[in-house]
Amino acid sequence: MATVEVARPNEGVDNLMLGYSDLRSLQTRRPLVIARGDGIRVIDENGKSYIESCASFFNASFGYSEHELAEAAYEQFKLMPLYSSASHRTVDVVLRLTEMLTARLPLPDAHISYCCSGTEANDYAVKFMRYRNVYEGKAAKRKVISRQNSYHGSTVVDSSLGGAKGLHDSFALDMADYRFVTQPDYFNNRLEGESEAEFVARLAKELEDVIQEAGPETIGMFFAEPICFSSGLTPPPDGYWPAMKAVLDRYDILHMDDEVITGFGRTGDWTAVDNTLGFKPDLMTLAKGISASYFPFAVTVISDPVYQGMLKGNDIQHGFHHAGTLHGHPVGAAIVIRVIELMEERKVLEHVREMIPVLHKGIHAWRGHEAIADTRAVGLAGAIQLDPAAFGPKGEENRGQMGQRLLECCMERGLIVRPRADSVIIGPPLIAGAADYEEIFALLALGMKDLQEEMR
Ligand code: PLP
């Protein structure tokens, strides 16, 4: 039978559901379709090149064309392409990786549970906390406190503990086990005349009040990024973490450190535990950069005291009843091993530490610009916050969306930035060099100029 060619001007898009996109506009406006990668650049189906100044979602740490990682994957595919790590069976690469990870993470006697995404790793962190508390004789300690405007993933649990009120309502989430406190975003959340020290003291008091109100015997975990990216990149003020930790310790509440973005190099270290938190977390999650995102791979790291509680459950239940068919995938493990090796062979952490001041200088150079309200930089990431009022009536119309408007102008110039409310954030692949930063800031300046002209 002859095949009939059907003209499809929006080919491939009709049946596609794209997250954080307007599903209706997908029918009429083709999304950016990437065909290939080259270093820190991606090239679309029409051959236009863009610098991915946010490493996609802060995850493409080695950029988009690292053949060493492709080779590591291919070698493992040929040797042992899949195997489920469960039921007292695993793969040699998983053992090798576990040893390499524990030697580099700041919790040397921790236990590692593998999965496939940051979302999953965070969901399991909550699950493991509850499991541990059940067998430590405090089953009521199951609630989670997190921070407004945070993002921790997309399952029911992660969407609940993420601080986006709109999602709680629109997905009809059961919010009984979740509480929220203020994000340590000093610029946007301070009271008039409040010093940083007063701001920190107010947030610690707020945490204590929330615990008291919910009942300390019901709160199991505080869940947060060490530096919050989802809130528009908000570095915590000095003293924030010690003040919060003191409250958590007073009420026997576990600290869960979401290092899905900050982990594996973004702050110039394997994690932000030593350079930002200043204390060891009880649980920690890593994803994105761990495999440079060349494979869906993530881990939940469980400190030994928490693990000891889980062991009690194991003994009573005759085993640990938790697994996933693809958890600890051998190809993912082989890629992570190569990522670690490349980071060490090429001194990537040292390179990041050299690039941090270059990025910060480029970001803070925007201070004083007529259209900029605030600049923030921490680790290998920076944000500029636009002042909608500086763009006249069109700026006011777009209040809360100025980041998106600037992204649109930057994309015309061949630069992808990450919008968040009135801010745009950059956090390039870890491999970006000084010349790349020069180009990123030059394109950002052109995008800003275009936006100012467009809104005049
Ligand atoms: N945690 C944080 C801080 C994130 O930014 C993200 C994703 O952007 C996640 C968790 C979820 O990770 P994934 O997208 O790998 O599921």
271 in contact with ligand 1, CB cutoff 6 A: no
The H or E element spanning position 255 is strand 254-258
pLDDT at residue 136 tops 60: yes
Q: Give the SS3 label for residue 333.
A: helix
Q: How far is the CA of 264 from the centre of ligand 1 (A)?
A: 14
Tally: H helices and E strands in the chain: 16, 15
pLDDT of residue 9: 53
Mean pLDDT of 182-211: 97
* 8 Å CB contact between 247 and 206: no
> Per residue in 30-43, is it b (16+ CB within 10 Å) or e — as a string?
eeeeeeebebbbbe
CA dihedral (144, 150, 153, 156) in degrees, to 10, reads: 50
261 in contact with ligand 1, CB cutoff 6 A: yes
Residue 272 DSSP one-character state: S
42 in contact with ligand 1, CB cutoff 6 A: no
Side chain identity at residue 440, one-letter code: I
Q: How far is the CA of 119 from the centre of ligand 1 (A)?
A: 6
Cα–Cα distances in angstroms (integers) from residue 279 to residues 91, 241, 309, in the given order: 33, 9, 21
Could you give the angle at which helices 434-454 and 402-412 cross, rounded to 10 degrees?
A: 110
Is the alpha carbon torsion for 114, 120, 126, 127 positive or negative? negative
Choose the weakest-confidence range: 16-30, 291-305, 397-411, 439-453.
16-30
More confident residue, 88 or 11: 88
pLDDT of residue 95: 98
* 8 Å CB contact between 228 and 184: yes
117 in contact with ligand 1, CB cutoff 6 A: yes
118 in contact with ligand 1, CB cutoff 6 A: yes
155 in contact with ligand 1, CB cutoff 6 A: no
* 8 Å CB contact between 230 and 262: no
pLDDT of residue 15: 87
Task: Please name the residue whose Cα sits nearest to atom 1 of ligand 1.
Answer: 152
Cα–Cα distances in angstroms (integers) from residue 286 to residues 79, 303, 382, in the given order: 26, 14, 21
Write the pLDDT tens digit of every residue in 426-436.
999 999 999 99
Task: Please name the residue whose Cα sits nearest to atom 4 of ligand 1.
Answer: 152
Task: Please name the residue whose Cα sits nearest to atom 10 of ligand 1.
Answer: 152
What's the CA gap between 355 and 60, in Å, rounded? 16
% of the chain at pLDDT higher than 70: 98
Mean pLDDT of 279-297: 98
* 8 Å CB contact between 215 and 208: no
* 8 Å CB contact between 40 and 432: yes
% of the chain at pLDDT higher than 90: 93
Task: Please name the residue whose Cα sits nearest to atom 15 of ligand 1.
Answer: 118
pLDDT at residue 1 tops 70: no
Write the pLDDT tens digit of every residue in 304-329.
999 999 999 999 999 999 999 999 99
* Token pair belonging to 188: 């946007």
CA dihedral (439, 444, 449, 454) in degrees, to 10, reads: 130
In the numeric block, the tokens 């899905």 are attached to 260
CA angle 207, 381, 335 (to 5 degrees): 100
153 in contact with ligand 1, CB cutoff 6 A: yes
Write the pLDDT tens digit of every residue in 357-398.
999 999 999 999 999 999 999 999 999 999 999 999 999 999
Q: How far is the CA of 4 from the centre of ligand 1 (A)?
A: 43
287 in contact with ligand 1, CB cutoff 6 A: yes
- Identify any residues that bridge with 38 across adjacent strands, giving them in sequence order: 41
Residues in the chain, how many? Answer: 456
pLDDT of residue 2: 44
Written as one string, the DSSP assignment of 280-305 is --SEEEE-GGGGTTSS--EEEEE-HH
Task: Please name the residue whose Cα sits nearest to atom 7 of ligand 1.
Answer: 153
pLDDT at residue 7 tops 80: no
Side chain identity at residue 410, one-letter code: C
300 in contact with ligand 1, CB cutoff 6 A: no
Give the mutation target among 288, 295, 418 for probing the ligand 1 site: most ligand atoms within 8 A of CB: 288
* 8 Å CB contact between 267 and 289: no
Task: Please name the residue whose Cα sits nearest to atom 13 of ligand 1.
Answer: 118
Q: How far is the CA of 452 from the centre of ligand 1 (A)?
A: 33
Q: How far is the CA of 57 from the centre of ligand 1 (A)?
A: 9
pLDDT at residue 126 tops 70: yes
What's the CA gap between 438 and 430, in Å, rounded? 15
Mean pLDDT of 195-202: 98
- For residue 88, give every residue at least 6 positions away whose Cβ sits within 8 Å of its Cβ, in sequence order, or none: none
* Token pair belonging to 323: 């697994």
150 in contact with ligand 1, CB cutoff 6 A: no
258 in contact with ligand 1, CB cutoff 6 A: yes
What's the CA gap between 241 and 42, in Å, rounded? 37
Cα–Cα distances in angstroms (integers) from residue 130 to residues 138, 139, 175, 177, 214, in the given order: 9, 7, 16, 11, 17
Average pLDDT, the chain: 96
Mean pLDDT of 225-238: 92
119 in contact with ligand 1, CB cutoff 6 A: yes
* 8 Å CB contact between 167 and 173: yes
Band of pLDDT at residue 421, cut at 50, 70 and 90:
very high
Side chain identity at residue 437, one-letter code: Y
What's the CA gap between 82 and 335, in Å, rounded? 13
152 in contact with ligand 1, CB cutoff 6 A: yes
Q: How far is the CA of 285 from the centre of ligand 1 (A)?
A: 10
pLDDT of residue 231: 85
Q: How far is the CA of 404 from the centre of ligand 1 (A)?
A: 20
Task: Please name the residue whose Cα sits nearest to atom 2 of ligand 1.
Answer: 152
120 CA: nearest ligand 1 atom: 16
Side-by-side strand order, sheet with 415-416: 34-38, 41-44, 49-52, 415-416
pLDDT at residue 80 tops 70: yes
Q: How far is the CA of 418 from the centre of ligand 1 (A)?
A: 14
Cα–Cα distances in angstroms (integers) from residue 184 to residues 161, 224, 282, 342, in the given order: 17, 11, 21, 35
Classify burial at 319, counting beta carbons within 10 Å of its beta carbon; exposed 0-12, middle 13-18, buried 19 or more. Answer: exposed
151 in contact with ligand 1, CB cutoff 6 A: yes
